[in-house]
Structure 1
Amino acid sequence: MTNNHRAEHRIVVEASPRTVFGLIADVEAWPRVFPPTVHVDVLERSAGEERIRIWATANDAVKTWTSRRVLDPEGLRVSFRQEVSQPPVAAMGGEWIIEPLSDSRTLVRLTHDFRAVDDDPQGVEWITRAIDRNSDAELDALRRAAQAPGSGADDLYLRFDDVVEVAGDPADVYDFLYDAQRWEERLPHVKRVRLEEGTADLQLLEMDTLTPNGDVHTTKSVRVCFPATAIVYKQLRTPALMTVHNGAWRIGGSGSGCTVTSTHTVVLNRDAVAPVLGAGATVEDARTFVRDALGRNSTATMLLAKEHAERAARER
């Protein structure tokens, strides 16, 4: 007989139930809000229901699955059920239950029910550990995000694009961005690279990069690769000035060849502004610093990808 297992995690949030529900409902913002979530694609959406594909970390591994979600804004519930799971998960579902304690205080219950492949005890233990770890991280992040609007946190969030036109084949640009193992020899600001790809098109990238003032920053990212069109990533280890850094490289066709767009989504760490930038530095200074530093590095990478693709086009 197959064993079904259950788990429940709770947190009290000092915010209105509607604010909390909105954060849970907005699944496309999850990579910015929830630490385990790397990327989300909405595959289908209708009134009160959506089908999504999620890439997320679980026990230091990257997993992807497809789920259906049913949103009940009146009942303040969001239920989910995986359509396609990844071993050791055989089946998984659950519910976000939002219970008003007052107009500005909310109890959030996150429930899971699951089965492990072949009822393997080691699989059950792995899944239980991943649920405990991710649920605690998600609920804490939900609490911080829900309580942030009243604390002036909007100034900590920034999102921006840099664009480069390429007179070359989109596939050559993609190959340059995908083959990060060679960035140490190709990109002047990259001093060390360690790349792992245990599952096709899912990469774990650790990198040392050089800042203009000579400091070396170590970052660790998960990259989800969509051949020839895009690479999206989330930093698991960020520099001190950022609490969240998500990004994407997107390649689209154009009349002359292709357009490469680098997108950065960042949440700044207010407490690190003065220690990193010096006494008297403001959040606005940090926004300018991060915008310039990330934009400079990503544009330099895109210009070298452009050079690579255009050289390949000339040699054909």
Structure 2
Amino acid sequence: MSVQQVHRTSYSVDVNAPPGVVYGLLADTTRWPLFFPSVIHVERLDFDGSQDRFHIWVTANGTVRSWLSRRTLDAPGLRIDFRQEVPAAPVVSMGGSWIVEPRGTGRSRLVLLHDFAVAGDRPADVEWTKEATDTNSRAQLATLKEAAERWTRLDGLMLSFEDSVRVNGPAELVYQFLYGAADWPERIPHVARATVTEDEPGVQLLSMDTVTADGSAHTTESVRVCFPHAGRIVYKQTATPALMAAHTGEWSLIPDERGVTAVSQHSVLLREEAVERVLGPGADLAAARRYVREALGRNSTATLGLARRHAETAVRTL
């Protein structure tokens, strides 16, 4: 029986931010989709402060992969060790460490280590895994550095909010409407075009042209992960409008004895340097937050209202 070769990679970046800030950004996996370009969604399964278990969906070399991971967090040592419990093929083992090294007052070095093995050690699969690891690791370090170095302003750059509507109809029909994004151009006035690819059940790639209130159109691309039995669809825009550095969201359905509450939730990381370019000279973060809140809220509330009409009309017709 041949022994698979263990491949190792090492990356590092200097960060002008305190070690505790850098470690804190790494420790909270639920916010990774806002900071890491390749991370689509993290579904936390167990967390007790030092042991963390989660299901993660990422883009790798243009494809969407998912796996179960566990982490051991060592806050005093500024170190997080990770290991994939169920790796995505062709990988058979993958793990590593995040290490934050203090570098004097208010400065740090962030080191990211990986070790991995590939089934049969096939050269093409090894090369594919190295390329995905290299691309994603470099991007993660760069965006984490950028977020950490803005730590004093980060709260102002991030916003989360939700809107909801009550539906006197079955959750299944509301979910069907939200899941069927390919039909949105015929169903939703502000959607001019939508194409959906679903090569793997429950994982959708959505490209969409949306018309804003002033009549201008913009194109967004998203990865959507669908949980039909839980009545949830989570998504991340992989191509965002200029004002947003990152945008994630979730459609969720909360049934009760009288019907269902349909909820749209958004989380956004603003692109600070684009505020005046998009909103005009003198515009500040407060104006950007209002603009994004109103624009996203208007569209998602309209979509929820149309989903409600779809569900309630179908029930009356029956």
Length, aligned pairs only: 315
Contact 2:207 2:222 (8 Å CA) reproduced: yes
Which residue number in structure 1 is paired with residue 253 of structure 2? Answer: 251
Q: Does 1:207 align with 2:190?
A: no
Partner of 1:311: 313
Q: Which residue of 2 aligns with 1:165?
A: 166
Distance 1:55 1:185 in 2: 30
Q: TM-score, normalised by structure 2?
A: 0.96
Q: State the alpha-carbon separation in 2 of the partners of residues 275 and 101 from structure 1.
A: 36
| Aligned-residue offset at 1:3 | 1.2
Equivalent residue number for residue 75 of structure 2:
73
**Sequence identity (%):** 48
Tell me the secondary structure at the aligned position of residue 103 of structure 2: strand
* Alpha-carbon distance in structure 2 between the residues aligned to 1:233 and 1:109: 29
Deviations 1:190-243 (A, max 9, x none): 111111111110011000000111111000001010004100100000001111
The amino acid that maps onto 1:275 is R
Contact 2:81 / 2:98 at 8 angstroms: preserved in 1?
yes
The answer on whether the counterparts of 2:21 and 2:151 sit within 8 Å (CA) in structure 1 is: no
Which residue number corresponds to residue 102 of structure 1?
104
- How far apart, CA to CA, are the structure 2 residues paired with 1:283 and 1:146? 18
* Partner Cα distance (2:126, 2:49) in 1: 35
Picking from 27, 37, 40, the partner of 2:39 is 37
SS of the residue corresponding to residue 286 of structure 2 reads helix
Matches of 2:123 and 2:39, distance apart in 1: 26
After the TM superposition, which residues 69-218 of structure 1 pair with which residues of structure 2 at under 5 Å, given as runs?
A: 69-150=71-152, 152-218=153-219
1:148 CA displacement: 0.9
Alpha-carbon distance, 1:156 to partner:
1.9
CA deviation map 1:96-138 (0-9, x unaligned): 1111111311111101111112211111111101111110111
**CA–CA separation in structure 2 for the residues paired with 1:146 and 1:113:** 26
Structure 1 residue 146: deviation in Å?
1.2
Deviation at 1:47, TM superposition (A): 4.6
* Range with greater deviation from structure 2 (248-257 or 292-301): 248-257
- CA distances 1:231-276 after superposition (whole Å, capped 9, x unpaired): 0100000001111111110111123210011011111122222222
CA contact (8 A) 2:17 2:151 kept: no
Q: Which amino acid aligns with 1:13?
A: V
Classify the secondary structure of the residue corresponding to 2:159.
strand
Letter in 2 for 1:257: G
C-alpha distance in structure 2 between counterparts of 1:127 and 1:305, whole Å: 41
Cα-to-partner distance string for 1:150-182 (whole Å, 9 max, x where unaligned): 3x3422211111010001111111110001010
One-letter amino acid of the structure 2 residue matched with residue 170 of structure 1: A
The farther-off stretch of 270-279 and 194-203 is 270-279
* TM-score, L = length of structure 1: 0.97
For residues 52 and 211 of structure 1, the distance between their equivalents in structure 2, rounded to whole angstroms, comes to 36
- Cα distance in 1, alignment partners of residues 260 and 211 from structure 2: 29
CA contact (8 A) 1:184 1:192 kept: yes
